[in-house]
Amino acid sequence: MGELALVLNSGSSSLKFAVFRAVAGDDWPLLVRGNIQGIGTAPQMSAHDQDGAALSIPPATQVRDAQSALTHVLGWLRSRFAAADLFAVGHRVVHGGPRHAGPALVTPEVLSELRALVPFAPLHQPYNLAAIEAAAQQRPGVPQVACFDTSFHRSLPAVARLVPLPAALGEKGLQRYGFHGLSYEYIASVLPRVAPQIAAGRVIVAHLGSGASMCALRAGVSVENSFGFTALDGLCMGTRPGSVDPGVILYLFQGLGMSAKEVETLLYKKSGLLGISGLSNDMRELERSETAGARLAVDYFLYRAAQEIGALCAVLGGIDGLVFTAGIGENSPYVRRRICQACAWLGIELDEAANQAGATRISTAASAASVWVIPTNEELMIARHTGRLLAADGAARRQRTGSP
C-alpha cells in the first residue's frame, strides 16, 4: 500500500477527511473520502472509496468533539489500511495572515501565530486549529502541514489589498486577504488541461456553495476576489450576508443595543439565504420551495452573483471564460442558467442541453466567453502541497547535514 497522506478539513460540527496514496508527481490517487457531521449533537459518519462506492463504517455515537472525531476516523482508517504508514497530515486552515504566502510545516511557533488570527476568522480558524492539536496528540511523530485559503491571493496588487482606513491600522493586519484560495488554486492548475483556450486569459471562477465567492484570474493568477478582510464580505452565502453597509453594523450596536457576540452570531450564522428566506440555508431546498421568502433569497443570491461578475470584468478589462465550481456551482443548472442569462451582455450564450446534463463546457460555440463547470478538489490541492513541502524540507535537511 505504501505511504498515505491524511487530509483534514475541520468545521464547528463536522470533520471532512480524505486519504491519498503518496506517489511521484501531483496526481495522488484518492483512496477514501468521508466526513463526520453533527459533532456534539447527533454525529453521523459516511465514507466512499475512490470510485464513489459507500463503505461500511462504524457508528459515530461516541463522537463529542474534534479530538474524539479524529480518534474515530483514525481508528477506522487503521483497520482499513493496516499495511500502510501515515507519513503526513495536511490541513485546510482558512487564515494564514499577512505572513504566509504558501503552506507551512506546523511548529509550536506557527501554531501560536495562527491562534492570533482567530479574530480574523472566528467561524473557521478555531476548528481548523483544533484538528491540528488533536492530530499532534494522537500522532505526535507525524509531520503536519497547514495549507491556507489566503495564500493564493497574495498575488493581489497593493490597491486590491487595501482597506481604506488610516494607514496605521493596515500595519495591524487590516487588509483584504481573500479566501477559498485552495479551490481557486486547484481550478487554475487544471485549466491548461480542461480548458486550454482560456487558461492563459481572463477568467472568473465562481465558487458557489454554502460559502460563496468569486475570483478574477489573469493567466491563472489571482488579481481580485469578492472576499475581503474576513469571509463575511462579497456574495450572499448560506448564513453570511456578504457585503453590508458598515453603517448597518454601527446601527446594530448603537441603535439596537446588540452585543459584539450577538452581532457576530447574526453575521456568521443567521443571515444570507437563511436570514432572507426564514426557511433554509440550503439552495436545493430553496429552489424547491414556492414561498415568497425562498424566491427572494434565491433572487438576491443571483443578483449579487451577476453584480460581482460585472465588477470583476471591470478589473480584468473583459472576460474570456467563466467557471462554475463548488456545491451549488457544480450541481445547480438553474443557478448557472440564471447567472448566464444575466451576463448575456458579455456575449455569453448558454447551451441549455449541456447545462442540464452537467457537461464540462456549457456555452455554445458562438459564445463570446466560454462557460465551464469544473469540480473543485481542495483535498487534492492540500495533499499536493503537503507532499511538496515535506519533500523540499527533507531535501533542505539533507543539504544541511550532507547526508544522501
Instruction: Name the amino acid, one letter, at 129.
Output: L
List the Cα angle 144/148/149 in 5-degree steps. Answer: 145
Q: What is the DSSP string of 187-253?
A: HHHHHHHH-HHHHTSEEEEEEESSSEEEEEEETTEEEEES--SSTTSSS--SS---S--HHHHHHHH
Listing DSSP states for 131-196 in one string gives HHHHHHHHSTTS-EEEEESSGGGGGS-HHHH--SS-HHHHTTT-S-----HHHHHHHHHHHHHH-H
Q: Dihedral of the CA atoms 77, 128, 154, 388 (nearest 10)?
A: -20
The residue written with cell numbers 441603535 in the block is 255
> 5: which 3 cell numbers?
497522506
Q: Which three cell numbers stand for residue 337?
A: 442558467
Cα distance between residue 113 and residue 117, in whole Å: 7
Q: Which residues are known catalytic residues?
A: 149
Q: Which long-range contacts (CB under 8 A, 24 or more apart) does 280-289 make?
A: 281/210, 281/238, 281/239, 282/238, 283/238, 283/327, 283/328, 283/332, 283/335, 284/331, 284/332, 287/332, 287/334, 287/335
Q: Are 329 and 376 a contacting pair, CB within 8 Å?
A: no
Grid cell of 145 as nine digits: 502541514
Pairing of strands 370-373, 321-325: parallel
